[in-house]
A and B are shown apart, each in its own frame.
Chain A
């Protein structure tokens, strides 16, 4: 019994740290593609800064387009990480140990990516620092009544706390990695960042308390961040935005997209780094169940949106939601986007009720891709269609993304995957210590 446990511990270390071994050809290819995409995105952004926002498709009345859609999308992705590590930690859901390290990394990278977009969409990005509170010679401060300033605080807080949480989880594993360092640089990096951790009884005592408390802080934070993001819209007067369900609706959506992205990332990772024994189908099933749950919540929100609109008897709301559903006669309206979204986010996930789907890795992988697409579309529909058709019919207009916006979006994926690939080779991709705890 204990013999097996000891054996397990050694094998865990070996397998997990094996992922950090010399990268394969395919790794370099993937990294190259990601970096290229990222650089292209940055180049396009530079071009936009030099010429003007006009190179994007946004106009009157649609002042927010793909950039804000991407922002919300990435913030959403960022949600599963902390949720899995913090909330499931508090709920003592064992399967989270298999995902939390990677999920938290994903969170941090996603927030970093998301954080770019408010800057990208700014008309005068060179004055972006005006959004931060600092004593200045204008004697003027940010407007704390503006949801955008709430965003600044929420997102930066989220990034900081997630990073701390992630790092704290890493400390003991870094101490382990010390032994396996392949060169001096690695060795010193691990030594410095493991802070001389020895795992004494006292250290563990404080450590456990810290981890628990951070989890307690992170849990409401997760909920708050996407609520604040949703208030960017809910606080306005625009039909389709101005509704009270947005906060829970967005949080659920965020977790849905987050879980989907976790699956999208973990399936190939598990394959390439041969972690099949450690991450088993059982664990994926856990995530799949969360996916199903949140998908149901999101579906419910879709229904409620319409219910509220029609119950209110408010002309603007009703006609707007009818427009969302059916589009208009002229070409170029967003008629199909809505139905694709419903198919991806509400219908397909229902398959997870079948055990055979839940337990089939390929099925889960494909499904997760669909959900990612669906969630992106959801944000597009909420943001763009609402602006395209608000109060004054004279001011109605259409929005079509330009190549610039598409390119920058691709660039954001480039950034995200670049960071994630680097993480895979630099740090233990799974939480060794926490998994070890399971075998005693």
Chain B
């Protein structure tokens, strides 16, 4: 081979290599096309927003997906959306991490004879199903279709499928099925639904066990309404509960009632309206006081407030309807609503769409049919009965009596474990569909992300494919086409522009006032007294809802608002019980109910009434709950609990260093003025706070155009943690995992600090970098890695930082976070840092949740909140293009953007017209002001004037 041939060969080889290298890999170059064409003139690298709908819970909030070059970065509430108007809750913010959840199923999987899973392709899967269906037909077994709550067009398609494919569609199964509430409303008002509660319109709100801030109804909307009602019509909110919850600690007044004694309280209030219901418990003040444990004084006061109020509202729900007396409570509450003229604020025209959700009775029936071996092919989609149904139902083992079991799910659950075939479902950000937040409102679900690593399908597509295979007739190319057809039929042609622009369509239904109450059968009012002995309450979880969000690492990373525990399970124990049992935090308790036993570490929970123990619903999964025969709902109050101290102990990742603020006046509250009598209590800070300003030897720094500042309304703040989740997603804040949390190495840039200092209740304070004018952290940095920028931000230059950690030591607010390891995800497990167990480092593909506008921090550097400086820069550029300054409210940090109660106001304090400077002029409280740090974050105890963010000005449209 001579020289020329050699060169030819080399040339060819390299050329070939280059060409091969140029071939686009899947998912790198292909454009993502949403349902509707995007507006022209989009600049690559510019963020833009696509409207869709959140599918984390039935509330179905409107979502604007922040996109850059076709990659979804962050979910934000859709401004002006009838449900959530620009806000999202903690779970909504974390929804994007579900898209990249490492536990997602990537391909259809079939159970091998050995019991192991094998990945197959879709045609094989369909083949298996059809074969099974035919076999079942021959055997004369019934094919069943069980799904989770289904709203909108999908329901119709399922009906169609069941009809054509010969399936029986069963009532849907949800853990939070509002059985008692719906039953009561059916009995009293004749409408078995969860109405829309017009809280914004009332001036007195009494919630009985209803966790209106966490999971009940439409949490974001309710939070928003409560905040606005507080500001606009001085709402008084009283919360009565048998345990302790965020609501109890957030309401102006908290009434602790004995578990199961809610009906007594209600019949007392009914009596206050001069109404006595036959069969209701005695309404005499003395008797009620004995039953509920409330002193007569506060009972009378409550009745007084209720009668005095011009627009009162009473809502019963949550744990109070989850007990033996749930139905009675709900019925009496409905009666009270009727008697108190509150029906004007119950809108059944906008009631929560529970689709065809049945009750546990229906599930019990199914279980029995399975037992009898009637079932052939069983479809279980978007629900996990085996994991969440009462263990007495033994659903898991009975499922196996069906001849062929198919699960449609996004991850392996207790149910799909029992199935022969698992079909992976697309995430709602990958799929077309629609949602119904409440009657008369249709939310658009459209695909924004390409299916990056998963070979998944939407339920609609799967059903259409199956119909195609079975009946060989195909009307629709895809589920998307089917949807368009449906929408055209429903909303008429020309609906598209508005639908795609806003993400929702309103079908103006006449406001349906609730009709006059009907007499109720007495057995609905049957109340039984709670037996003595400790009771265990399964309470809804703000982080995990009914447990469905348990697998999301982000939600595990963020502390539980009451206990500040991040990872793992625990049982909350009252202080007094803990003393009796000689318990420390982390001591293991063995809880036994019937055959069910569970060992959980104890956490002492202040304000929890003695005798009551709480377990986070989302945390523990299948529990020995019972079916309430009256309502068919779940009895989530476990009585006859046997408690034993095992003697073992584990360390709980509790983020809070102390439940008390030790009278340091961190939270501006007269209570602390009294108790913290010492010099540096809040009072001291106030008296001399102004003095501290001018006590500087140095001249004030002068700012040219902007001095960014923030005001936080502590009355409005509900400690829901949505801001924390938003911050994690917006700023690529690392998730460090349980092991690091136990070492005190969480990375949150903003945190909610609970302080249990008032005699009853607690205070919560969001703590983030205060962007001090005289920042102690800045001066001590030897290399200028942190400095005060011309707009007042306490800037942190990551690539200049050498990691002395002096700044963090010297920060009085302890809001600076150090990268102890390289927390960035590792593609090769071998390269992962040897800290904790490997599962602690972020698993792929979670690394894709990363905002390209914010640099990832390497190991050995300090990081912190900078008021979302990347957003400020974005806004400044936009303003520059338009030749103006940044408008007030045009730009807000991620935390302020998502806050459901609009508690965070951000703006330019140099501009006297900006809302933030208006608030500052009113006089505010600044944490540790007496240190002379001159923070730019101001805390106020409401009300903030004109709290609505100028959504229209926000630079996304």
A62-B744, A394-B755 known; 16 new pairs, CB 8 Å cut-off, are: A52-B821, A53-B821, A59-B743, A60-B818, A121-B804, A123-B860, A140-B783, A140-B800, A146-B806, A237-B933, A314-B679, A315-B681, A392-B814, A393-B657, A393-B661, A395-B657
Contacting residue for A392 out of B753, B780, B805, B819, CB 8 A: B753
Residues of chain B at interface, number, CB under 8 A: 62
Judging by beta carbons under 8 Å apart, are B835 and A54 in contact?
yes
Q: Which of A16-24, A87-95, A126-134, A248-256 contacts B (4 or more CB under 8 A)?
A: A126-134
Q: Does A272 contact B (CB under 8 A)?
A: no
Within 8 A of A (CB), among B805-826: 805-806, 808-810, 812-814, 816-822
Chain B residues lying within 8 Å of A369, measured Cβ to Cβ, are: none
Separation of A394 and B757 alpha carbons in the complex (Å): 13
Minimal Cβ-Cβ distance residue in A for B747: A60
Q: Chain B nearest CB: distance from A128 CB in Å? A: 7
Q: Does B746 contact A (CB under 8 A)?
A: yes
Separation of A205 and B519 alpha carbons in the complex (Å): 119
Separation of A377 and B657 alpha carbons in the complex (Å): 24
B 333-373 binary contact with A (CB < 8 Å = 1; else 0): 00000000000000000000000000000000000000000
Separation of A394 and B743 alpha carbons in the complex (Å): 15
Within 8 A of B (CB), among A358-403: 387, 390-398
Q: Does A157 contact B (CB under 8 A)?
A: no
Q: Does B782 contact A (CB under 8 A)?
A: yes
Q: Does A51 contact B (CB under 8 A)?
A: yes
Query: By CB atoms of chain A within 10 A, which of B751, B818, B861 has the most?
Result: B818
Q: Chain A nearest CB: distance from B832 CB in Å? A: 11
Chain A residues lying within 8 Å of B936, measured Cβ to Cβ, are: none
* A392/B834 contact (C-beta < 8 A), A122-B804, A124-B801 known: no
Judging by beta carbons under 8 Å apart, are B664 and A124 in contact?
no
Contacting residue for A60 out of B783, B817, B858, CB 8 A: B817
Minimal Cβ-Cβ distance residue in B for A318: B678
* A61/B681 contact (C-beta < 8 A), A122-B804, A316-B664 known: no
Contacting residue for B814 out of A130, A314, A319, A390, CB 8 A: A390
Separation of A390 and B657 alpha carbons in the complex (Å): 11
* A313/B810 contact (C-beta < 8 A), A237-B931, A393-B661 known: no
Contacting residue for B822 out of A52, A122, A390, CB 8 A: A52
Chain A residues lying within 8 Å of B835, measured Cβ to Cβ, are: 51-52, 54-55
Chain A residues lying within 8 Å of B804, measured Cβ to Cβ, are: 121-123, 148
* A54/B658 contact (C-beta < 8 A), A124-B860, A314-B679 known: no
* A51/B821 contact (C-beta < 8 A), A123-B805, A130-B802 known: yes
- Which 6 A-B pairs rank lowest in CB-CB distance, beginning with the nearest? A123-B803, A396-B657, A123-B860, A54-B820, A395-B814, A63-B805
Within 8 A of A (CB), among B708-758: 740, 743-746, 751, 753, 755
Chain A residues lying within 8 Å of B933, measured Cβ to Cβ, are: 237
Q: Chain B nearest CB: distance from A380 CB in Å? A: 15
Q: Chain A nearest CB: distance from B814 CB in Å? A: 4
Minimal Cβ-Cβ distance residue in A for B656: A394
Separation of A132 and B802 alpha carbons in the complex (Å): 12
Chain B residues lying within 8 Å of A244, measured Cβ to Cβ, are: none
Residues of chain A at interface, number, CB under 8 A: 53
Residues of A within 8 A of B (CB): 51-55, 57-64, 121-125, 127-128, 130-131, 138, 140, 142-143, 145-149, 152, 232, 235-238, 313-316, 318-319, 387, 390-398
Q: Chain A nearest CB: distance from B543 CB in Å? A: 19
* A390/B662 contact (C-beta < 8 A), A51-B834, A124-B802, A127-B802 known: no
B 452-463 binary contact with A (CB < 8 Å = 1; else 0): 000000000000
- B contact face: mostly helix, strand, loop, or mixed: loop
Separation of A59 and B816 alpha carbons in the complex (Å): 11
A-B contacts, 26 listed (Cβ < 8 Å)? A51-B835, A52-B820, A52-B821, A53-B860, A54-B745, A54-B820, A60-B808, A61-B808, A63-B808, A122-B802, A122-B803, A123-B859, A124-B801, A143-B779, A145-B779, A148-B780, A232-B806, A236-B806, A237-B933, A313-B678, A315-B663, A315-B680, A392-B813, A393-B755, A394-B755, A398-B744
Judging by beta carbons under 8 Å apart, are B664 and A131 in contact?
no
Judging by beta carbons under 8 Å apart, are B782 and A131 in contact?
yes
Query: By CB atoms of chain B within 10 A, which of A145, A315, A397 has the most?
Result: A315
Separation of A321 and B111 alpha carbons in the complex (Å): 64
Q: Chain A nearest CB: distance from B697 CB in Å? A: 13
Q: Does B767 contact A (CB under 8 A)?
A: yes
Separation of A146 and B775 alpha carbons in the complex (Å): 13
Chain A residues lying within 8 Å of B800, measured Cβ to Cβ, are: 130, 138, 140
Separation of A127 and B803 alpha carbons in the complex (Å): 9
Chain A residues lying within 8 Å of B268, measured Cβ to Cβ, are: none
Q: Does B666 contact A (CB under 8 A)?
A: yes
Contacting residue for A394 out of B657, B678, B931, CB 8 A: B657
Within 8 A of A (CB), among B662-697: 662-664, 666, 676, 678-681
Separation of A239 and B860 alpha carbons in the complex (Å): 26
Judging by beta carbons under 8 Å apart, are A393 and B805 in contact?
no
Q: Does B833 contact A (CB under 8 A)?
A: yes
Contacting residue for A315 out of B679, B740, B862, CB 8 A: B679
Chain A residues lying within 8 Å of B833, measured Cβ to Cβ, are: 51-52, 54
